[in-house]
Structures are given as structure tokens and as C-alpha cells.
Amino acid sequence: MPSEASRDFPTIRPRRLRRTAALRRLVAETRVHPSDLVLPLFVKEGLTEPQPIASMPGVYQHSVDSARKLAVEALRAGIGGLMPFAIPARRDAVGSGATDPDGILNVATRAIRDEIHDDLVVIPDLCLDEFTDHGHCGVLRDDGTVDNDATLERYAEMGLCLAESGADLLGASGMMDGQIGHVRGALDEAGHTDTGLLAYAAKYASAFYGPFREAVDSQLKGDRRTYQQNPANAVEALREIDLDIAEGADIVMVKPGLPYLDIVADAAERSPVPVAVYHISGEYAQVIAAAERGWIDRDAAILESLTSIKRAGASVIATYAALDAARMLS
């Protein structure tokens, strides 16, 4: 029988399983694996060597050749995939470069595919914003608003080009109504039934996109609040997710990540397809900036961020820290 004194102390002690690093590893409920991670990369037409992006230390605009080398590095690190974005030399009102077989995104997609074959998943961005001289994600009407249905036609043309260039999945990021169904129909009609669609289903009009816009030399004037989601809304996000799944999305994405973990959790609970999260440029940049000032531990903050996203229910995480995280996890 326990003594009278011992009854003043707890007999159930959860701290026993936190005592050593080995014990903590043994009972960890959530694990991030390098193969869960997707690395976004920027390929700029005309570059001969990588150029640093000031607002994202450690991230570069790449030439086609350096993108190929990065793809090999990613493969060796064991990450799951690559997400190419392009910066063309010329832009116009309808984003003609997006549907030019010799345009930078199609060239880069083919080059990466030729380098790594089927050993990494290649997910080029299916959107017009990097290719338009106004920086919006679609075709504009005379009054300056985005014409949803005219934009869908451009997305279908772009999707076919990227499928022919070797994309495994198309990162449908434009947030146009009906984009998944329209592109899926075009792909199937052209015989690209194996090309999948990663739907940016819940993409919010976020304040955290700033560094990305530097990375792609964005020409945006104004904002994208008429097509990206209001950060105040959650039910709307679930409706968007349901619609994209019904239209044929193979994966649905929530973007950004950390400010929207409630949406990630709700999506994971209801979705019959995998849920992805984009840990975006501003989320990455604030960790790096704070670490450079000595305010936080860079590596620990990266792993904690990715673990929280995985814990919320994400199967796939796109992050600029993919290579660093893969090395730490290995």
C-alpha cells in the first residue's frame, strides 16, 4: 500500500515519455517525412546563373540549367516533388507566353522532366499571373475586372501545353469558378487522362504573398480580392473544396498554411482526396528574418511549422524550406 505521503503526488506521469529524445521519438504522434515535401522553384527566362531573391534568403531565381541541377539535388534529398513557377522575358494582356510551347515554363518543365524522369512529381503552376502585363490571374474585361469564363479557355490551353511538356500534376492556382472541371474536360478530350490536377481550392487573399511577388517580378496593380478568398470566411472555403473535388480535383490545397490550420483540419476531415498546404513565401521569410536577428532558432522553427501543418491533416506540404527540412529530417 502507498504511504500517506505518496498520496500527495501524482501516480500518472505523462512526463515519463518525454524524458529522453529517444522516448520522444518513439511516441511521436505526427511525423514529417521528406517525401511529404514539395519544393517551389522559380525559373527566369534569360538567366545564365541563379539570382538571389532579397526577401527570401536562400531562395533563387533559376536558369533552366540551374533548375535541372536543383531537381537532381531535390531527388537526392528524398523530397516528393517540384513546383516550377516562371518569369518570362515578355508579358502581354492575355499571358501568351503561358501557351507558347517554347515559353519558359514549358521549357523548364520539359528540362526538369528530362533530368529526373518519373522519380519526382512535377507540378508546374497553371495560372496566368506571371505571364500577364497587368499581373492578374486571368483575362481582363474593358472595365479592368477579371473575365472568369474567358480565363477558363486560357487555362485549358495552358493546361494542354504543360501536360504535353511532361507535368504530372497541374497546380491550378487561379481561383476561377469552374477551373478544375474545365481543365479536366480539356485534358481528357485531348487524351491526357493521366495528368492530374492539384486544385488551389482554398486560396486566401493573404498579406503573406509579398516575397513571392518579388520572386516572380509581379506586375500586379491593385489586389486579387474579387477571386481569392476572404480571410474571414471558413464555410466558403469548404464549399470551394467540395466544388473542386466534384469537378475532378486529384488533390486539394489550402494556401497559406499556418494562419489557416483550422481550414486544413476541416478539409482533411471531409476530403476523399489528399489535402496539400502551401507554406508560403511570407511564412518562410518571417522565420528566416527572425532567425537572422537571433530571435528564434531557424531549424527548430521550420520543423515546428511543418509538423503543425502535418498534424492539422496535410498529406503534402509545399515549402521553400523543403531541402533544408529534408536534410534535418534525415
pLDDT for res 3:
58
Domains (range + CATH), the chain = 32-329 (3.20.20.70)
Q: Name the region of 57 (left: φ>0; alpha: ψ -120 to 50; beta: rest).
A: beta
pLDDT of residue 1: 55
Judge whether 203 counts as a catalytic residue.
yes
Q: What is the pTM of this model?
A: 0.95
Q: Tell me, what's the pLDDT at 8?
A: 81
CB atoms within 10 A of CB 33: 14
Please name the residue that has the C-alpha cell 515554363. Answer: 105
Q: Which residues of the chain have pLDDT under 70?
A: 1-7
Residue 166 zone, left/alpha/beta (φ > 0; ψ -120 to 50; rest): left
Among 96, 79, 78, which Cα is nearest to 88's? Answer: 96
Burial class (CB in 10 A: 0-12, 13-18, 19+), 79: buried
pLDDT of residue 4: 56
Contact yes or no for 188/160 (Cβ under 8 A) = no
- The torsion angles phi and psi of 204, rounded to 5 degrees, stand at -90, 150
255 is catalytic: yes
Cα distances from 296 to residues 112, 258, 286, 301, in angstroms, run: 35, 17, 10, 7
Set 69, 221, 255, 310: catalytic member: 255
Say what the alpha-carbon torsion angle 322, 176, 139, 194 is, to the nearest 10 degrees. Answer: 60
3-state class (DSSP) for residue 62 = strand
The CA-to-CA distance between both ends of the chain, in Å, stands at: 48
